[in-house]
Structure 1
Amino acid sequence: MMSNLVYLYLLSPLHTGGTTQEGNLLGIARESHTDLPYIPSSTIRGRLRAETPDGKRALLWGNTIDDVTEGTDKNLKQGALWIGDGSVLWLPVPSLSHGVVWISCPMLLQRWKRLQGETVNVPEYSTNLKNGKPVYLKDAILKDEILKEWNEWQKFIPSSDATASVKRVLVLPDQHCATVIQMGLWRQVKVKLDEHKTVDGGFRYEEAIPPDTVMYFPWGITSQANGDGNQFSTDFQSILTSQSVLQIGGQESLGRGFVQLSMANQAKAENSKQEATV
């Protein structure tokens, strides 16, 4: 079972372009079967490849068409590492009663646990906010009688300095979660100005995954890798260690797409340390 995970904590809004543009809305990449936002594996892989030293770039990620046309080796070769899509684990939404609440759903939590070789059954409307009062989200009111006390919620939060603020969580039904996530996406109005700094054309809206979202992506060694898999793993982890903050997607000049990285084994070690302290 695939158990190698890297966690992403968004430090700023992240935009990865979608395949279509509807009207004046510039959308983000979405899963075809859930319509939830995600980060394409090609986007993550390309950014990590750019951070890899030249001497190991072709070995870890494979060569490119430019390498074939300009170098002596005329055959395309697969690299030693593969990267999966980046999935949402917890997404922050505004709450009139609690400031910010991080939401997820059974499908997303089960998907995450499945990659670790585990199965879980998380009831809908599980929360650590049950106190006899309703939870007021920006676009919904959840009465206390439908909420279920969730004492194991911390096991579903990757432990790192970045996620220390994730303390108010709520598990919604799959279909309701998708709707609330859609309403909670970051949207910015943009205009084009001409040389006289007057509006040239109409407005357009650009979507982004909001900051403070917790995401992750799986990674591993390809079946065609030749050599020591442990060494490839060490090389990959050294790349992540040297780049604890990475910029993914477009609009780097606007400060978009910056994420804080942490390895799954680092999160497990910090969890064990915290439990030992308690």
Structure 2
Amino acid sequence: MSDVMFGLLAETFLHPGSGQSDGAIDLKVAREAVTGYPYIPGSAVKGALRAAMCDGGGEHKEHVDAAFGQVDGAGSVLVSDARLLLLPVRSLTRAYLWLTCPLILERLRRDLERAGLKGGDVPTPQVKGGEVRTAVAGRIFLEDRLFEAVEPALPDAIVDLIGRLIADDGARGRLSDQLCIISNHDFRWFAENALPVQARNVLDPATKASNNLWYEESLPPDTLLYMTLTARGSADETGRTTVAGFVEGQKFLQFGGNETVGQGWVRAGRYPQPSPEGGR
């Protein structure tokens, strides 16, 4: 039986913290050490799912320990990292554009193959530095950098594949006009330098003077990530089926820090989502 994959579309700012500072930014997001791409570690995904199922109560709560494990034993469900797929970036061409790159698309293809899901046969397009493959012709500004749109434009198969990981009809409908594929090197620059940074403060209750000002990095709304759920080894698939059913039923989940200030909400959609009516 195939694994289960979910697309996670950020509805609010998302702060999967690393607990580390870097110069002027006190709290950076978690990043892969090699690529520099933001992600949500599998342990954080697993903890958030477990907490949500415990809070949800009902029939799901009794399966929590068996699915996620206890101190003296592993659970029956393997929870992956939530990997980055689309990064929203400011542009003069649109309100924003969604960026991805060949390495990320190759990873998605490999993850689909490993999960036993259809879509792993989609070819990975190649892009040179300074170029972009998109539906928008001509020159494109991303942040303050200039890119040149090249032919051939976006492959239909790539747009359809990514669209099946977006659980919102409106966002999915905009994908073909906003998706941009840039080189791996260019994407790393945006992943490291184009994330929002927000100031947070603690005020003295009497004087309202600042007691502690710090800066946090976040993933912006409309960031798209994805994760997989797998049954462990010879364990039966009840746990995975239960967790997947819970996620489908919730649709909205909270990941990362800053829950009390409204951050971390994602819209979860099981892969594959149905194609938009009439195709692309």
Measured after TM superposition, the shift of residue 54 of structure 1 is: 2.9
- The two structures have a TM-score, normalised by structure 2, of 0.84
- Aligned twin of 2:202: 192
1:149-206 deviation line (CA, Å, top 9, x unaligned): 12324224233325323331111111111112223212101233223111225x4210
Does structure 1 retain, via aligned residues, the 8 Å contact 2:90–2:143? yes
Measured after TM superposition, the shift of residue 236 of structure 1 is: 1.9
DSSP 3-state at the match of 2:202 = coil
- Aligned twin of 1:169: 179
Measured after TM superposition, the shift of residue 224 of structure 1 is: 4.8
Higher-Rg structure is 1
Does structure 2 retain, via aligned residues, the 8 Å contact 1:139–1:180? no
CA distance in 1, matches of 2:240, 2:61: 17
* 2:179 matches 1:179: no
* 2:162 matches 1:151: no
Structure 1 residue runs without a partner (length 5+): 65-75
Q: Summarize the Cα distance change of 1:107–1:2 in structure 2 as closer, same or farther, 3 Å threshold.
A: farther
* 2:241 matches 1:238: no
Counterparts of residues 48-63 of structure 1 (less than 5 Å): 48-52=49-53, 53-63=60-70
Coordinate RMSD, CA, aligned: 2.2
Letter in 2 for 1:12: T
DSSP 3-state at the match of 2:20 = strand
- Aligned twin of 1:127: 133
Measured after TM superposition, the shift of residue 240 of structure 1 is: 0.8
- Aligned twin of 1:216: 226
DSSP 3-state at the match of 2:43 = helix
Q: Summarize the Cα distance change of 1:128–1:172 in structure 2 as closer, same or farther, 3 Å threshold.
A: closer
Does structure 2 retain, via aligned residues, the 8 Å contact 1:7–1:158? no
Letter in 1 for 2:216: E
Does structure 2 retain, via aligned residues, the 8 Å contact 1:8–1:216? yes
- Aligned twin of 1:11: 11
* 2:234 matches 1:205: no
Structure 2 residue runs without a partner (length 5+): 54-59, 114-119
Does structure 2 retain, via aligned residues, the 8 Å contact 1:130–1:147? no
- Aligned twin of 1:37: 38
Match of 2:145 among 124, 136, 140: 140
Q: Summarize the Cα distance change of 1:61–1:109 in structure 2 as closer, same or farther, 3 Å threshold.
A: same
Letter in 2 for 1:128: T
Measured after TM superposition, the shift of residue 28 of structure 1 is: 1.0
CA distance in 1, matches of 2:74, 2:234: 7
* 2:99 matches 1:93: no
1:62-85 deviation line (CA, Å, top 9, x unaligned): 124xxxxxxxxxxx1111101010
Q: Summarize the Cα distance change of 1:233–1:191 in structure 2 as closer, same or farther, 3 Å threshold.
A: closer
- Aligned twin of 2:57: none
Does structure 1 retain, via aligned residues, the 8 Å contact 2:66–2:239? no
- The two structures have a TM-score, normalised by structure 1, of 0.84
Does structure 1 retain, via aligned residues, the 8 Å contact 2:132–2:183? no
1:51-107 deviation line (CA, Å, top 9, x unaligned): 22331111111124xxxxxxxxxxx11111010101110111011122211000100
Structure 1: which 4+ aligned runs deviate by more than 4 Å? none
Query: In percent, how many aligned pairs have the same letter?
Result: 25
CA distance in 1, matches of 2:136, 2:209: 51
Q: Summarize the Cα distance change of 1:184–1:14 in structure 2 as closer, same or farther, 3 Å threshold.
A: same
Measured after TM superposition, the shift of residue 126 of structure 1 is: 4.9
DSSP 3-state at the match of 1:143 = strand
Does structure 1 retain, via aligned residues, the 8 Å contact 2:31–2:37? yes
1:224-261 deviation line (CA, Å, top 9, x unaligned): 52xx32x3333122211221101111111111000000
CA distance in 2, matches of 1:47, 1:188: 23
Letter in 2 for 1:184: A
Aligned length: 256
Does structure 2 retain, via aligned residues, the 8 Å contact 1:106–1:173? yes
Letter in 1 for 2:107: R
